[in-house]
Amino acid sequence: MRIPENDDINQSRGSWTGASMLSAVSRRRELRTARITALAMLAALAAGSAHAQIKAKLAAGLVPAWDKGIQPINRDNYWNAVECGKQGGERPACVFYDADLCKNDDFVIALFTPYKLVAYEVWQATRKHQEPLTTSFGDAQKTRITVGVTPVKGSKNTITGLSIKRDGRVVRPATQSLEPPGGRFIFDFPAFAPTADITIELVGTSKTHRCLVERPVLALFR
């Protein structure tokens, strides 16, 4: 039986020490990875508390049918809007289709469009048993898209800005008017064209809300 010599013992010790060092390095890497993952999760949670994602929805029972989105006034949407207003009632869905569009705890959104101008005036006249105003078409030709923002009762989050994200680009309003705690943001028609999903970003003093409007829903805007 061969008795191990000093060189054999030293070589064995060196192998053991090297294995231990590799194991220690591996454990440190695992701990570092765990810390990074934990920090990433905390950052995601923090971002989620500061930015809320919601999905747009329209009022039920939209009659008459419309699937071309918001457009400048023309023969088709003008007469469609007239038929909408003639329904009467307390709150016809085709006039107030945006009542809970991007429902959240801070802001209420209301759209004002050429279609809604015509439909609203006809609706008001219908309720009063009067003839609709004949100036609607001319006024509607001058009307662009206004997004009005008012605070939800009890909210302390004041609106500071509104923009639209489309195809990776940010579309800002042509003009805006901030009248704390609300605001009005005017856009040109391409911003709401039903060609792709959009995200309406409502920026507040303490929290930002992002509202996804999918293309099929956007096509039902009027």
Q: What is the pLDDT of residues 46-79, one digit of tens each?
A: 444 455 689 999 999 999 999 999 999 999 999 9
Instruction: Compute the average pLDDT of residues 27-38.
Output: 57
Alpha helical stretches, state H, 51-177: 75-85, 114-127, 136-141
Question: How far is it, in rounded angstroms, from Cα 79 to Cα 190?
Answer: 22
| Residue (of 50, 67, 162) closest to 110 by Cα position | 162
Please report which helix (H) or strand (E) contains residue 182, including its range.
Answer: strand 182-187
Q: How far apart are CA 29 and CA 24, in angstroms?
A: 9
* pLDDT tens-digit series, residues 88-145: 899 999 999 999 999 999 999 999 999 999 999 999 999 999 987 767 899 999 999 9
pTM confidence score:
0.76
Mind listing the pLDDT tens digit for each residue in 150-172?
999 999 999 999 999 999 999 99
Q: Where are the domains positioned within the chain?
A: 1-51, 56-218
CA distances from 1 to 6, 57, 122, 152 (A): 16, 86, 110, 90
